[in-house]
Amino acid sequence: MTKLSIVFAGLTLAAPLAFGSGSPGPMSGGGDTAGMTSAPRMTPQQRAASSYNAGLNHKKRAQEFEDKAAVASNENDRQKQLGKAKDQYEDAVDDYKKAIGYDPTMYQAMNELGYAYRKSGHYEDAIKAYNQALQVQPNFPQAVEYRAEAYLGMSMFKEVQDSYLALVRTDQDEAAALMRAMEAWLQTHQENQTPEQKAFNDWIVERKAVAMNTQSLTTNNIKSWN
């Protein structure tokens, strides 16, 4: 699942150095800086926003490569596109780490760091990043959902179940996103299931039925008031 980038109000990049008309450039001799104006120094929050947005750009490119992989005509091309996507996610990791270094309270960067780690297959690192985001911003629903997908990648089924039930109570959209992720898991784990996987499979089917019944009841109640 992906989300739109977060707008950081007031966190703009500093302007480049400006030179007055006819004044020498920065590498010219003479040392005359009368016509030069210095750009304002970026605050840590502005540097954090810049690094965060750079990470989002890598994420966007990674998703473009994933889209190409999804329609690749052969397996070699698919793997090639997925490899390019992974490279972009790894670049995003570096940018998000920089953002957090500049602003240790930027939970959005921690959440996206977890996403980039998870998409690169580093599930344990992803969970640590999501936990960090949730320490700064408790019950941040997107981090709860993303972390549950990392749990799913590690077959930590009890943690996935707890996350889903928490989201059902707090954020229906994120709960639905996690259900879609669990359904995708079901499609790739139908054969040679362990007893734990079979039990989790049955639980997903049960919870999906409950969600559908709840949605139907809600829809009927709305109609009854029209």
Model confidence over 17-69: pLDDT tens digits?
A: 332 333 333 334 444 555 556 667 999 999 999 999 999 999 999 999 999 99
Partners of 43 in the β-ladder: none
* Paired tokens of 133: 């985001």
**pTM of the predicted model as reported, rounded to 2 decimal places:** 0.77
Counting other chains too, the contacts that 22-29 makes at CB distance below 8 Å and 24 or more residues apart are none
DSSP 28: -
Mean predicted lDDT score pLDDT of the chain: 84
Residues of the chain with pLDDT > 90, as a percent, come to 69
pLDDT reading at 14 higher than 70: no
